[in-house]
Structure 1
Amino acid sequence: MNLYSAVSKSPHRSGTCGPNYLQRLLRLDSPGTQTILSGPESKAMTHYLRSQHDVIIVGVGTAVADNPALNCRIEGVGLKGQPRPLIIDPSGRWEVESEKGLAECVRLAEEGVGKGPWVFTSLAAPKRNQKWSQALDKVGGAYISIPSSDIDGKKDLDWSKILEKLAQLGMSSVMIEGGGSVINTLLQEKYLHLIDSVMITIAPVWLGQGGVVISPPRRADASGQAIPAARLHQTKWQQFGDDVVMCGRIKQ
């Protein structure tokens, strides 16, 4: 699922679940294993969407497991058509550089075919690795500290503060690709108002047990009656090859 957001005081936020996130959906029992789900048509749509957003966001779990490129692969878009990669990494555990070399999105930025990634960490994150900081600086990326909030007893970055910071940095649109932890957090009641639009790609595939699950906490109304965690309206459907893409807005 892709979540989309626009920045006025805060950026336009879109979220997607499918072509880009689901095609790299991880099996929990074999981290790093990629399962191809979506077809080339919806994948091409994903890269077009990337070219239309200022920022593309993934969580640290996806960044560590997948080492994603987080760029637009449409020929001719140039550096101007590339989104800024943003990794949500509260504790600062994403490796900018390892024994295998630079992280893929950093390598692409070094080659001039992508923008340097920003890494949002918490104010309480451990002292930053100086070598990693220098590698980010070299490609126009940066570590940026964001205030945390307590979510279910766990310290996590506050998404309101994340979007405020992006607006301050001049970003006007955000594409949130995943992973599961990021999407589940944003679909909680306290953050639903931050999401401008949602895009879900449905591929004709059953992944089987062990996959990443998008399942935000249940909600209840004033009488205690269970209600949907989130609901879309103004929905539109479009077929891309064997896949079907649904777009909609969160019903507040």
Structure 2
Amino acid sequence: MTIPPAFLTSLLYRYNKPTEQSKPHVTLTFAQSLDAKIAGRGGKQLTLSGKESMVMTHWMRTMHDGILIGIGTALNDDPQLNTRLLPYRDPDPSANGHNNPYNIPRPIILDTKLRLSPHCKLLKNYTEGKGRRPWLICTEPSETSEKTEWLARRDTLDNAGARIVVLQIGHDTEGDQICLEILNLSQISMSSSDYLPIPLVLQTIHQLGISSVMVEGGAQVIRSFLSQNAVRSATSLVNTVIITIAPIFVGEDGVSYNAESGPSSVYKHASTAMFGQDTIVGLIPAYPNQDAP
């Protein structure tokens, strides 16, 4: 296969239309077992997808400007978030901005406390010209006792090649610190200081030029994106959900996304396809006013 599968092109064609939305088109995608588990005990990485569906996922990456994960996934998996499984082509740096034959989405990591390793594969690939510069989305601690260590980590990651994007609410924009005012903070789920307000994250990366983003997890990020749809009446935060269902059971020790408002409540079936032994299900918003990217 030398082009994206028809399953993806038919499902994602909608976000190529002009839009006045203040956020990117969001594609939420993850692999799960038959018993709805997405990771092993304690968030341990599981290889759920077969080869064919993994190639499909890599094609999906070429169709987005950004790819977003949480810091838990970044630390546990040390992912590359690239397109290495796709067929060989001669690289075209002038077209892609890196030494890769395909578009690679911008890595975006939700990392409130800047815990990403400066030696991770994402930063290594960037410095070697094999990937895009990762963005770390964070907030600056208010406590003086925490700020010194945070500033040291910020400088270390900046020197390693990361772009640090600091979210601040209700302040002026200064340099790379993107500051947006959100009036309905009561509608934003922030169960601890480790979690970032998803609507603010999406508005921020949209201002930075991301028109489409692929969200790959892990469990907490998936829960955050799905649960936000329950408190928004105008448009859905997530425009497309693509779930890879592997024909295995993980058991009760596995980790599930356990969203209070799961895909079935606000999404409808759009298409289903088989890739190898895996079943891929595509969902779109169930209500017409949620269908805009």
| Matched residue count | 229
Q: Distance in 1 between matches of 2:191 and 2:157?
A: 34
CA deviation map 1:157-206 (0-9, x unaligned): 11111111111111110000000001101111136711111000111111
2:79 aligned residue (68, 74, 92): 68
Amino acid in the other structure paired with 1:157:
L
1:115 corresponds to which of 106, 113, 132:
132
Separation (CA, whole Å) in 2 of partners of 1:114 and 1:59:
19
Is the CA contact 2:154–2:164 (under 8 Å) kept in the aligned structure 1? no
TM-score (norm 2): 0.69
Q: Which residue is equivalent to 1:190?
A: 231
* 2:265 alignment partner, SS class: coil
C-alpha distance in 2 between matches for 1:111 and 1:10: 31
Percent of aligned positions with the same letter in both sequences?
28
Describe the SS at the equivalent of 2:231. helix
Mean CA deviation greater in 68-77 or 208-217: 68-77
Unaligned residue ranges in structure 2 (runs of 5+): 1-11, 97-102, 170-184, 288-293
> 1:3-18 residue pairs with structure 2 within 5 A?
8-18=21-31
Letter in 1 for 2:192: K
Answer yes or no: is 1:250 the counterpart of 2:263: no
Indicate the residue corresponding to 2:63 in structure 1.
52
Give the stretch that moved more between structures: 123-132 or 164-173.
123-132
Paired with 1:60 and 1:91, the residues of 2 have a C-alpha distance of: 9
- Give SS of 2:281's match: strand
Cα RMSD of the aligned pairs, angstroms, is 2.9
- The structure 1 residue matched to 2:203, chosen from 144, 153, 164, is 164
CA change 1:247–1:153 in 2 (3 A) is closer
The aligned counterpart of 1:37 is: 48
Matched letter for residue 235 of structure 1: A
Matched, 1:91 2:113: yes
Give the ranges of 4+ consecutive aligned residues of structure 1 lying more than 3 Å apart after TM superposition.
Answer: 4-8, 75-79, 125-139, 147-150
One-letter amino acid of the counterpart of residue 142, structure 1: R
Q: Residue in 2 aligned with 1:225?
A: none
Tell me what 2:7 maps to.
none
Alignment equivalent of 2:141, drawn from 117, 124, 127: 124
Give the letter aligned to residue 110 of structure 1: T
Amino acid corresponding to residue 210 of structure 2 in structure 1: M
What is the aligned partner in structure 2 of residue 154 from structure 1?
192
SS at match of 2:41: coil
Q: Which residue of 2 aligns with 1:224?
A: none
> Which protein has the bigger helix share?
2
TM norm structure 1: 0.79
- Residue identity opposite 1:167 in structure 2: H
Query: Per-residue CA shift, 1:219-239, capped at 9, x if unaligned?
Result: 9xxxxxxxx873421420000
Contact 1:50-1:56 at 8 Å conserved across structures: yes
Q: Gaps spanning 5+ residues in structure 1: where? A: 220-227
- Supply the AA of the counterpart residue of 1:216: A
Q: State the alpha-carbon separation in 2 of the partners of residues 243 and 213 from structure 1.
A: 18
Deviation larger for 129-138 or 173-182: 129-138
Change (3 A) 1:167 1:152: closer
Q: Please give the alpha-carbon distance, in whole angstroms, between the structure 2 residues aligned to 1:138 and 1:78.
A: 25
CA 1:161 to 1:34, structure 2 compared with 1: closer, same or farther past 3 Å? closer
Pick the structure with greater CA Rg: 2
Counterpart-to-counterpart distance in 2, 1:233 and 1:131: 43
Secondary structure of 1:182's counterpart equals: helix
